[in-house]
Amino acid sequence: MTKAIAFRLLLALVGLAHLALGLTANLAPPETVTKVVSGFYGATLDVTPQMHHMIRILGVFMIGIGMMAVWACSNPERHKIVVLGIIAILILRVIQRVMLAKEIGEAFTISPTRIWAQAAFFGIIAVALFLLRPKATSAS
């Protein structure tokens, strides 16, 4: 597998995961959202009507990130700013998890091990995207 194929595959997976979670946040009933959040994040969540609305708002952002990632797959050299934006979002979420680990754990009943594992997972994805990204050329 070439570096370019690995990059596009990883970017596509990031995009599709964001699209799937964003669509679930917006289209699924609260009980399904609770199951998905528990499965993916290990979080205990009480989805009140207000919380459901906030989850839908966050879901729209996830759909947008997913669409941009999938779109950038078509021509990563041309859409390098989108790729860098997605990498930045992933890194900011890692920083957020690390800085707020205790608060997140207490609020959502997530073990510290799971929070740190999530931070490592998303950090590795961000670093891999950064290292695999197409380098700027004079033609692009």
Radius of gyration, CA atoms only, the chain: 16
**126 conformational bin, left if phi > 0, alpha if psi -120 to 50, beta if neither:** alpha
What is the Cα–Cα distance from 95 to 73, expressed in whole angstroms? 26
Q: What is the distance between the alpha carbons of residues 113 and 18, in angstroms, rounded to a whole number?
A: 23
Per residue in 12-55, pLDDT tens? 999 999 999 999 999 999 999 999 989 988 898 889 999 999 99
Render pLDDT for 44-74 as a digit per residue (tens, 0 to 9): 888 999 999 999 999 999 999 999 999 999 9
Which helix (DSSP H) or strand (DSSP E) does residue 92 occupy?
helix 80-99
